[in-house]
Amino acid sequence: MLIPMPRFATRCLALVMVLVAAGCASSPAPRVTRLGDGVFTSPSMQEAEAYCRNFGAPMRLANPRLKPAPGAEVSFRCD
């Protein structure tokens, strides 16, 4: 049985849209706040590293003299 082309194209397009929506919903975005002048804050060091990794940039703490406590909010830059 031959499938009409418009129906087949519609089904393929619907499948692609569902897969894209599922892919976007499955990966959580890092919670980052922009402070200005290239400085960001994040609730944890891991989320800050993940945010910079999205751009392939190394993470640098905004104030390297202060060691953040585990799980504490950090200020950082992506250089």
Mean pLDDT of all residues belonging to the chain: 78
pLDDT at 5 over 60: no
**Mean pLDDT, rounded, for 33-58:** 88
Q: How many CB atoms sit inside 10 A of residue 55's CB?
A: 8
Provide the pLDDT for residue 77: 92
Question: Which residue, chain included where needed, has tokens 């002048």?
Answer: 37
Give the integer Cα–Cα distance in Å for 56 and 58.
7
**Mean pLDDT, rounded, for 8-23:** 71
Share of the chain above pLDDT 90, in %: 9
pLDDT at 76 over 80: yes
pLDDT at 63 over 80: yes
In the chain, the amino acid numbered 13 is L
